[in-house]
Amino acid sequence: MQTHLDHGRSNHSFASSNVTITNENDQQLMVSFVQPSASYQIDTTDLWESSETLPEWMKDYFRWHKEARQSLFHNDNNHRLMIVSCLPKYIKCGGLADRLMTLPFLVRVAALSERVLLFQWGRPAPLEEFLLPPVGGVDWRLPPDWNGSGGERVTVQDEILTFASNHSIPSFRVKFQAHDHGQVYYDYTLLPDEPTFSQVFAECWRVFFTPAPPIAKRIQTYMNNNGLEVGKYPSTHLRALYNVEERDPRFLEQLTRHAVNCSLQFVEAEYPYLFFASDASYAQQVAGEYGTHRGYHVISPQHEQNPLHLDKAIQWRSRSPSEYYDAFVDLYVLSLGKCVSYGMGGYGKLASYMSQNASCALQHMTAISLSECRLTTTYTRARNTSSHVLTNDRIFPPPMRGLTSEEDGALLLLRAEVVHPKPQAIASTRIWNDSTQIPQWMKDYFNWHAEQRQRLSPENWNETRYIIMTCMESDEKCGGTSDRLRLLPAMVRVAANTNRLLLLYWERPAFLTEFLVPPVGGVNWVVPDWFHDILKANADRIHTLDRLVAYSQSNRTVIMSRIQISDHGSKYYKEQALQSGESEDALRQHYRDCWRSFFTPAPKVAKQIESEMKGFELIPYEYSSVHLRAQYGLEEHGRDPAKVYNWTVNSLNCISHLRPGGPFFFASDSAYAREVAVEYGKSRNTPVATRLHDKDPLHMDLKPSQPTSPSDYYAVFVDLYIISMGECLAYNMGGFGKWGLLLSGRNLTCTVRHWTAGVPKAAANKNGCTWQDGPTERQQLNRTLELPLFLPPMNIYKQS
């Protein structure tokens, strides 16, 4: 076996480290691993840097690879390549384990021979359809403009070692399958105290691969929907159809029960779950029934068809990459268990090697017999003690973005990719980082947004792509306040998924900053003054959410969004949330802190809200709110006073069931309704607070009969914020009232929809509510209003 690779010096400036070792036969072996250049600066955010498992020579190779990979953008021919390939013309490449379980072996050979290790698949699809380099990992992709042939194809281990050590060969392709996956060679050439092949595998894999976004979403959704928690369930793989098309059902039942029994020893009484995957659907059925009989929950994939083998699917050229996703989903779910049991073939074994806790692995059968249910020793490694512990909240590192050229750093969009900031740029004062409600992807986007917004200038504005929520003077219709702003979380999600800077800009009826501003430590969404002309000259205007999602994935630099949609983006947000493994109630959970990260009332509005609250003697969350939209569709002419009277009384009757005795805050677009509310409250000996001195609030979208000032619209925001600080809510038409409850972050079940014209009968009691009296003696509140109520405003003039 060849163990020494003779390094002639190449004409680039990288160094090598020479080490003499003595193997188990007392043979002296000289090994020489490549090292990065003397000018290389260690980046602590690179995944390998924090690993306690990877040997130093491997970290040096990853650092060298990072430098060498960048120079490939210049078509630098000074670097030799080793390309792991499965091209469309290849007849056979093997399954997942055959193709990828050789990873540590290939890394060792590449490090010894100073070769850039890359991957290129064409069968059944590019590897990038399934796996991608993670942020901070090794970029193993061929540059998009690389035009080399790749060289000769090499298929056996000795030839790989020979080709790799021959410096006259600039590049060659590897299509290598072996039962030991190169493990024997790897472990034979270990340095003193160096971790073995099986011990480094999981960390090495994590540095190279993260699932492509569609697969990652499937994995996370599947685990959440089935109650599987990372590192808490044992997992079992049964390769039942190894080299055969079918098995005798009775024999298959025997294999299945034995496999399940081997894993049941690791099930805990308080968490009785086990994941079982097989290439035979009948085996999965038997496993489920047997688990139920034993009192356990055996979870199995519910695929429409058995997962396709990468190498054996018929008519593979006509198949979509998504038809192969199940093979990757099952592999990762197996690997995320606390103990992996596997049988024949390499698939289950690969999952055990990928596991965080590969010291807990067992082989329940071989190709010739069933095995005893004992932990393996050959492949045992200590539990991963690094800082990269996975949780259900964040299972996978995000995928690396594509760099189209080294000079301009232009970003090539990857589907559904969420942007991630540089950790050292995250300020401790960012208010979203303290939130326990908003998801990590949103925090990551806000941190990235802060970086991009801070560096924005007239010189570099076209290096970033934008979504700008607008209402321009030239727009005929923009909608009311709820129409314009309630869809904020959906817009954040689109912007995060497509690497765009989300900003807001109003011209009508006034600048948005007259009413709302970014808080200190929040998201700076303000469009700089110098950007106004650029915005009007360069933007595409989009009016529907579907078109926005599609356009955002394009290379268009500036997209102006003026969207009115009845569900305010909730359907889109829910679909995206479920695909990401978030809860069905994600929008409500995320809304308040998302809004607070963007907005605080402008100082004059905040002062008016605090003045009203103090005058009404209202304490946040110790009163309930009523919103009555009385003039819906009749803003110019008004509604019949008799109807307004009845609706007002009914709305207060309804809220009395949620908080008997009040106090209540009553908001309406009808001055008459507010007068009725106060009088009705007096007749019921219940305090009803409302702003009687105001006229009907101006609607944002209706052109007034005479000139207005921004202060004429303050009432809209005053009502909204006071509604949001109530404990419960009664509302009818339009989105304004329920929007206030979303801003509160409180339980949406503490609501009642009082019936008026325009409210579906199924959604409210048309017969009306009756009044419910409160306590005979009202408890006196000793609390006083604590000011200020709001986060301080950002200095937007300095920031712009």
Coil vs helix vs strand at 636: coil
CA of residue 36 relative to chain centroid, distance: 33
Across 109-123, average pLDDT: 95
Show the domains of the chain with their CATH numbers: 15-196 (no CATH), 212-363 (3.40.50.11350), 420-574 (no CATH), 618-763 (3.40.50)
- State the pLDDT at residue 16: 53
Task: Tell me how far apart the alpha carbons of residues 519 and 522 are, in angstroms, rounded to a whole number.
Answer: 5
**Spatial distance between the Cα atoms of 380 and 355, rounded to a whole number of angstroms:** 12
Q: What is the pLDDT of residue 11?
A: 35
Specify the pLDDT at position 13.
37
Mean pLDDT is lowest, of 205-219, 239-253, 262-276, for 239-253
CA distance linking residue 559 with residue 552, whole number of Å: 8
Q: Helices 736-744 and 586-598: crossing angle, nearest 10°?
A: 80
As a whole number of angstroms, the distance between CA 469 and CA 516 comes to 14
Rounded-to-integer distance, Cα 57 and Cα 114, Å: 12
Q: Of 327, 371, 362, 101, which is closest to residue 236 (Cα–Cα)?
A: 362
Greatest mean pLDDT range, 99-108, 245-254, 421-430, 575-584: 99-108
- Is the separation of the CB atoms in 399 and 210 below 8 Å? yes
The first and second tokens of residue 461, run together, are 């504005």
Of 212, 81, 62, 66, the residue nearest 146 (C-alpha): 81
Tell me whether strands 153-154 and 171-174 are parallel, antiparallel or unpaired.
Answer: parallel
H/E stretch holding 274: strand 273-278
pLDDT at 345: 82
Helix then strand then coil, % of the chain, to nearest 5: 35, 15, 50
- pLDDT score of 494: 96
Q: Is residue 476 scored above 50 in pLDDT? A: yes
| Model confidence, pTM | 0.52
> Is-contact 571 495, C-beta < 8 A?
no
Tell me what the pLDDT averaged over the chain comes to: 83
Does the pLDDT at position 417 exceed 70? no
| Among candidate residues 203, 147, 144, 209, the one with its CA nearest the CA of residue 396 | 209
> Are 82 and 109 within 8 A, CB to CB?
yes
**pLDDT > 70 in the chain, percent:** 82
CA pair distance 175, 85, nearest whole angstrom: 6
CA atoms within 13 A of residue 681's CA, in its CB half-sphere:
22
Q: How many CA atoms lie within 13 A of 778 on its CB side?
A: 15
56 band by pLDDT with thresholds 50, 70 and 90: very high
In which band, very low, low, confident or very high, does the pLDDT at 754 lie, cut at 50, 70 and 90? confident
Measured CA distances, 408 to 404, 421, 538 (Å)? 8, 18, 21
Structure tokens at 65: 């690879």
Confidence tier at 471 by pLDDT (50, 70, 90): very high
Of 189, 234, 197, 179, the residue nearest 379 (C-alpha): 197
8 A C-beta contact, residue 494 and residue 416 = no
Residue 136 predicted with pLDDT over 80? yes
Distances (CA, A) of 69 to 110, 115, 204, 215: 13, 10, 18, 26
Question: What is the average pLDDT across 573-590?
Answer: 89
pLDDT at 796: 76
Q: Report the alpha-carbon distance of residue 257 to residue 776 in Å, rounded.
A: 67
Element (H, E) at 678: helix 671-683
Q: Please answer whether residues 655 and 626 qualify as being in contact, where contact means their C-beta atoms are separated by less than 8 angstroms.
A: yes
Residue 580: both structure tokens together? 């990401």
Q: Is omega for the bond preceding 124 within 30 degrees of 0, making it cis?
A: yes
pLDDT at 368: 59
Per the listing, tokens 């963007």 go with 598
